[in-house]
Amino acid sequence: MSDPRDDVISVGALAAEGTHSAGDPPAGIRRVPSGVDGLTTEHLIINMGPQHPSTHGVLRLLIEVDGEEVLAAETSLGYLHRGIEKLAESRKYHQLGTLMDRGDYVSGMHGEQAAALATEKLLEVTVPDKARYIRTLVAELTRLASHLVWYGTFGLDTGAMGQFLYAVRDREVLLDILEEISGQRMMFNYIRPGGVVADLPVGIEKKILDFLTDFDVHLEEHHALLGGNEIFQMRVKGIGTISREMALAFALSGANLRATGVGFDVRRDRPYDAYPDLDFDVPVGSTGDAWDRYMVRMEEMRQSVRMVRQCIEGMPEGDFTAKVPKVIRPAEGEVYASVESSRGETGVHLVSDGSPEPYRYHYRGPSLFACQVLEEILPGHLLADVVMMIGSLDIMLGEADR
Amino acid sequence: MLPDATAVSHILTAAGVSNAVVATETLGVVCRLEAASVLRALEALRDGELDFRVLLDFLGADTGEEIEVTYHLRSLTRDEELFIKATVAYDGELRSVWNIYASALMPERETAELLGLSLVGHPNPKRLLTTDGVEPLLRKSVPIRTVEEVRNR
């Protein structure tokens, strides 16, 4: 009995037969069925977004592909443009935080903090110690909440599902804590020029510490669940590599910059609020690929936990706000103040003409610069890796579109 | 944090940029120069000993008479920051500096569109945030609608 596999004609044999002239097709058939030319394919332009679950908001990408390989990419922004900078010119100084909440809407505290720091620089007001500590505390809690969103959705981009549910479980507790502190879950409007709007509620320290006790375990579980997954590692390692020169040329900041090995952190190198008093490490990567960005952000969460504990332990007594006039009229001048937000350096460039409203209000969002580097790193990768590179850069479109 | 003002003006003079004024203001060290010499100045500052390798931000502002553009430079090796300022007329041209600093690509598009300047020397000088026909929103001459105007629209 012969082996049935012997009957299988090898591909080479088929190709050899194809070299003979096939002749004219029989009547009723219009063309020679010679198959598809697999070598020269047509370039296709794929329009991804703005309504796409993996674009993390309303990013629109135009991707030119040859088969599955990306040849060129263009990021198209503006689908969430609300004119924040123009609106700020008709707002009072203490209302700027409200606008910044709607910029980077996943880590609102950092935007508020940047706006408040810039206003305080113009006013030359000294913030009480307690206010500095409260601000740092809520900023680090917001960073944890924001990084958890990134962690969950980055996993979704690679095709994993479970970690998103666990990340949202922890974020829910964090948002409850932030709601108790500020009265809102995401649009906090809590940090104001001179301090914060209200003192910490009674008993919130215990809630935060209880959460951290759980989160110490949960964070390592998160890391084991996604980072310990071999499929995930194979998909993100070596993807979206950003060299040090490229990161500097595109002015990347935050974890995207530190993953390339450049150790610049606004909290350490341009210290503000309570960060000079805190003990924390700035994690850096080496190769600058998506895996390094993942590892840097996971380590940042561990450092945030450390900082929250230090803030609660070292919380000073005193006022939660300095004496600031109801209508702020700073002297004429121009200042720049920046904070390390969850995504990188969020800086506020503020021009005052002495009136109660800013003359020019501009903020530097780190996501805009991450959107630019996308156009540079996407070509050469496979189409399936595009969503992972977007996810690894942690882009927030509300901030880039203003 | 603050670079040496004389070192900055020395580099600029060596690069052939005349009448640049370097001063320390509330913003930091600010260097004001003519729009025509911005490219030469930025190239000299990037490659010079002060090592301003990063263009952190680019923005424009309507001063009421003309548009003032600001380049925010940062040197990571020396940990210093410098602001370059130049003015462009309302109907003037904004020359792209993307060959020197790639991070200017999108901020330049945004500034040109929101302040009504024409962008030259840019590889993709399209609008960034708004659609065709929208007036330059950040000009002071473009008003914001009041609540009554929106209601009676």
| Chain B contact set for A269 (CB, 8 A) | 79
Domains held by chain B: number: 1
**pLDDT at position A19 over 60:** no
Taking only residues 158 to 177 of chain A, the set having a beta carbon closer than 8 angstroms to any beta carbon of chain B reads none
Tell me, yes or no, if B137 comes closer than 8 A to chain A by beta carbon. yes
In a domain, B122, yes or no: yes
Average pLDDT over residues A312-338: 88
**pLDDT at position A7 over 60:** no
Q: How many CB pairs under 8 A join A and B?
A: 83
Selected for mutation to probe chain A from B47, B85, B113, B129 (highest A CB count within 10 Å) is B129
- Domains annotated for chain A, with CATH where assigned, are 84-401 (1.10.645.10)
Tell me how far CA of residue A235 lies from CA of A90, A213, A243, A375, in angstroms.
48, 32, 19, 20
**pLDDT at position A80 over 50:** yes
- The per-residue pLDDT for A10 is 44
Distance from CA of A251 to the nearest CA of B (A): 6
Answer yes or no: do A349 and B70 touch at CB < 8 A: yes
- The per-residue pLDDT for A323 is 86
- The per-residue pLDDT for A91 is 87
Answer yes or no: do A90 and B144 touch at CB < 8 A: yes
**pLDDT at position A2 over 60:** no
**pLDDT at position A146 over 80:** yes
Average pLDDT over residues A11-23: 51
Selected for mutation to probe chain A from B57, B72, B75 (highest A CB count within 10 Å) is B57
In a domain, B95, yes or no: yes
In a domain, B149, yes or no: no
Answer yes or no: do A345 and B137 touch at CB < 8 A: no
pLDDT tens digit sequence for A156-191 = 888 888 889 999 999 999 999 999 999 888 889 899
CATH code for the domain in which residue B89 is found? 3.30.460.80
Q: What is the 3-state secondary structure (H, E, C) of A337-363?
A: EEEECCCCEEEEEEEECCCCCCCEEEE
Tell me, yes or no, if B103 comes closer than 8 A to chain A by beta carbon. yes
Q: What is the mean pLDDT of chain A?
A: 86
Answer yes or no: do A371 and B106 touch at CB < 8 A: yes
Tell me, yes or no, if A10 comes closer than 8 A to chain B by beta carbon. no
**pLDDT at position A362 over 90:** yes
The shortest CB-CB distance from A81 to any of B79, B130, B138 is to: B130
- Tell me, what's the ipTM? 0.87
pLDDT digits (tens), chain B, 153 positions:
787 777 777 787 787 777 888 888 888 889 888 888 888 888 888 888 888 889 999 999 998 889 999 999 998 888 888 999 999 998 888 888 888 888 888 999 999 999 989 888 888 888 888 888 888 888 888 888 777 887 887
pLDDT tens digit sequence for A29-67 = 766 666 666 666 678 888 887 877 777 778 888 888 888
Residue B81 belongs to domain spanning: 5-137
In a domain, B64, yes or no: yes
In a domain, B23, yes or no: yes
The shortest CB-CB distance from B79 to any of A269, A333, A368 is to: A269
Range of weakest confidence among A13-22, A145-154, A218-227: A13-22
pLDDT tens digit sequence for A112-137 = 999 999 999 888 888 999 999 999 99
**pLDDT at position A24 over 80:** no
pLDDT bin (cut points 50, 70, 90) of residue A306 is very high
| Chain A contact set for B54 (CB, 8 A) | 248, 251
